[in-house]
A and B are shown apart, each in its own frame.
Chain A
Amino acid sequence: MVRHRGKGDEDLLKRAWTILFVPVLAAYVIIGGPDRASAEPVKCPSGHIWNPQAVTCVLKVTPPQPETNKSGTPSQSGSQPSNGEPRKCVSPYSGKELPCRDGKSWWSNVRGCYVSLADPQPPKSDPQWEGHTTGAIYECYSPAIVGTRMYTFWSATSPAGPAAPPDPRVLALRAIATMRLRAIGIGIVPEPKPGSVGIVGLPTWMWVADPGQHTWGPITRTASSAGYSVTATAKVQRVVWAMGDGKTVTCYKRGTPYADSFGKRASPDCGHTYTRQGTYTVRATSYWRVTWAGIGQNGTIPLDFTRTAVITMGEAQVLIR
């Protein structure tokens, strides 16, 4: 059966079309349909970043990464800016020059605030540490209202600035360099020289042949810069003897030098017994712990030094023959 539309039905369809389509089209244009369909890239000039609140590009902050030199040690930051930072102290907000120091605080051109070490330091569990266990928490003070804390932040090294204090870790390394620490001299029986043969099954004695400040510690030195000082103290924690037969012996004492009067007795504090004859390369590694303190911070630095010696072990019957 074929139905023909009457005039009333046509009117109804026209009205429905008008009610639905026209407003939808208008809404699409008003709401921004074309905008959504043609997303445009948002780009800022170099050194700038988009701020969606201000609807403009703003200066980009680039917190300095911990600088390291070719030897892997932290390089000097702070009073000797090496990252091209200008020697003037300039407010990024006003563009005007500012005093480079305010009491214990120093101006950071990178952060745009006066920086000082947070005192006391918050516990390491505080979110301000950002999960780090080294470095320190610093405070930023407003250049507009000096003395008003703006925020705190974590930094691996002391933030740089034209009048910043030296990085205490750098001073600590400088202090360590003056200690002239070195590996222990190996004291061992049998002696590491031609013609000296130890007997398999008898105790081997090991000791520090040249105990002193530079091989065993403790030794304390201070390094200073720009009126700031850091004091470091170094001490050997243990000596690990790799005996060359796959065994290692850890000695927490210097060991006892062997004397003929001891006969076949074992060393009271640092010894080993070989079970097979042969030539062995013995490696003695001394592990140091350096503690340092200064410029409101403290820390530890591990160091180790190794020396080797070659000894010979033989069977008793071979020696008798």
Chain B
Amino acid sequence: MQTRLGLFLECVMAAVFVVCLAGCSNPDPQPSPLPTPVASPVVPSRTASPSPSPEELNLRKAERAVHRFWRVIDRLSADPSSDLTVLTTVSRGPVAAQWARNINQYRFDQVRAEGRVAVRDVMARQSKDDDLYTVTACIDATQVNLVDKNGKSVVPPEGPRRVSYDYTVEKDRKEWYVTEEKVTKTC
């Protein structure tokens, strides 16, 4: 016969597990259109938290540049009539040219993207050049689909949907651009 205490403990453990599972399996179910800072509860504190250094701020901006880059690609890939020139607001050189070609290929093939890429595990570090940053990120395309005009997916069923990238992000005056991208491994 089960005691009341036993039942109570079972319920607590089950609830803890469910919460944990939900949090672990779906960390970024619906990425927002633009990277937004996570709102944390306002807790009255006697000591003000130290403001981030300029170096730390730049690292965060470099990371945000990769988020912005993907939000733009998501948008352009989804809308066949959009002007790809907007790519030059988030990327430059070979990366801008590559994604213009990629998205043009979608348009020629009459396919478009649905869903959004989730940019996870983003970490920036400054390179030797003051204005260049290397940003590593896991690009999660599990929620993205390329569909033809009939809504049928054209994405191969096999193949990695989560891949790790090394991005070079350049700061030019006050703007940030992705200038190089290199896929490395699954993540």
Contacts and interface: CB of A to CB of B under 8 A. Distances in A.
B35 interface: no
Contacts of B159: 55-56
Interface residues of B, number: 58
Contact of A12 (B6, B97, B173): B6
Contacts of B73: 53
Contacts of A279: none
Contact of A39 (B109, B164, B175): B164
Contact of B104 (A41, A113, A128, A154): A113
B25 interface: yes
B84 A54 contact: no
Nearest to A112: B101
B30 interface: no
B155 A42 contact: no
Interface stretch (B39-47, B51-59, B88-96): B88-96
Given A11-B2, A15-B6, A53-B113, A112 B104 contact: yes
Given A111-B97, A113-B104, A131-B173, A152 B85 contact: yes
Interface in A34-67: 35-36, 39-42, 44, 49-56, 58-63
Interface string A174-199: 00000000000000000000000000
17 contacts: A12-B9, A16-B10, A20-B17, A39-B185, A52-B144, A52-B183, A54-B102, A63-B93, A93-B104, A93-B109, A94-B108, A130-B88, A140-B84, A140-B100, A144-B107, A151-B84, A153-B88
Residue of B85, B92, B146, B162 most packed against chain A (CB within 10 A): B85
A218 interface: no
Contacts of B97: 61, 63, 111, 153
B65 interface: no
B175 A127 contact: yes
B163 A59 contact: no
Contacts of A58: 101-102, 105
Interface string B70-101: 00010001000001110111001110111011
A19 B15 CA distance: 10
B127 interface: no
Given A58-B102, A94-B108, A111-B101, A152 B184 contact: no
Contacts of B109: 93
B150 interface: no
Contacts of A92: 101, 105
B3 interface: yes
B33 interface: no
Given A51-B102, A144-B108, A39 B186 contact: yes
Contacts of B3: 8, 12
A299 B97 CA distance: 26
A150 interface: yes
B139 A52 contact: yes
B48 interface: no
A214 B79 CA distance: 58
A62 B173 CA distance: 26
A31 B160 contact: no
A27 interface: yes
A55 B89 contact: no
Given A40-B186, A61-B94, 20 more contacts: A19-B17, A31-B25, A39-B186, A41-B184, A42-B160, A42-B184, A52-B141, A54-B154, A55-B141, A59-B101, A63-B94, A93-B105, A111-B100, A112-B104, A113-B104, A128-B85, A128-B88, A130-B93, A142-B104, A151-B84
